[in-house]
Amino acid sequence: MLDVRKVSKAFGTHQVLKEISFKINPGEIIGLVGENGAGKSTLLKILATIDRPDSGSISLNNMDYIKDNKTIRKTLGFVPQDIAVWEDFSVEENMIFFEKLGWVKKSKKILHELCLDMKLDRWKEKVNTLSGGMKRKLNLAITLIHEPGLLLLDEPTVGIDLKSKNEIGTYLKNLAITKQTAIIYTSHDMDEIKKLCDRVLCIGDDPFYEEILKENEKTVITL
């Protein structure tokens, strides 16, 4: 379980997060929505241990984010908005390269199967020849090599075709069910959020997101 308690973060005089609290259980897919500048990416970076809150506490499976930082990092997967892969490498070369950097060893066969499960079937092709949807799938596949228990996704399907969006969504739903992976998912696409997420955390003061999601009978929590 992820337990966030009264987390606050400011940049200079600008208060981005103010006493944010929520809990997420294994196997849940949680949408994180809000207007630009509301603090979604800041919160994800804090949860990914890239940044630290000014106050408050966070624990994951009873491990403290400060005291158990190194252990927690091994259980996290973070996919930022920007695609971070080697463009001149093939899909195969990217998967092998990032597997060697990690702490969970996987055979080439298992890495290939992971890609195929995500409908990423361009194993031998260079990344710079792939569509945006395929690149997004590869970015996600790399993050899943070490089987994170908490997966943090910042606009993982922005700018890609509907077919790839649906394939990624289907894969994530199956991942949450079969592996009990907890997933936090940000998107400005409300149809995507309504279709994919079990609950929605609405961050910021704009009531738009809360109103549109409640129309779909989603459980919406305002942070």
Q: How many helices (H) and strands (E) does the chain have?
A: 8, 10
What is the CATH number assigned to the segment(s) 2-222? 3.40.50.300
N-term to C-term CA, the chain: 18
Question: Distance between CA atoms of 156 and 59, rounded to whole angstroms?
Answer: 24
Local confidence pLDDT in tens for the 223 residues of the chain: 999 999 999 998 988 998 999 999 999 999 998 888 788 889 999 999 999 999 999 999 999 999 999 999 999 999 988 888 888 999 999 999 999 988 888 999 999 999 999 999 989 999 999 988 899 999 999 999 999 999 999 988 888 888 889 999 999 999 999 999 999 999 888 888 888 999 998 887 666 666 656 665 556 666 6
Domain boundaries, the chain: 2-222
The answer to whether 138 touches 120, Cβ cutoff 8 Å, is: yes
pTM: 0.89
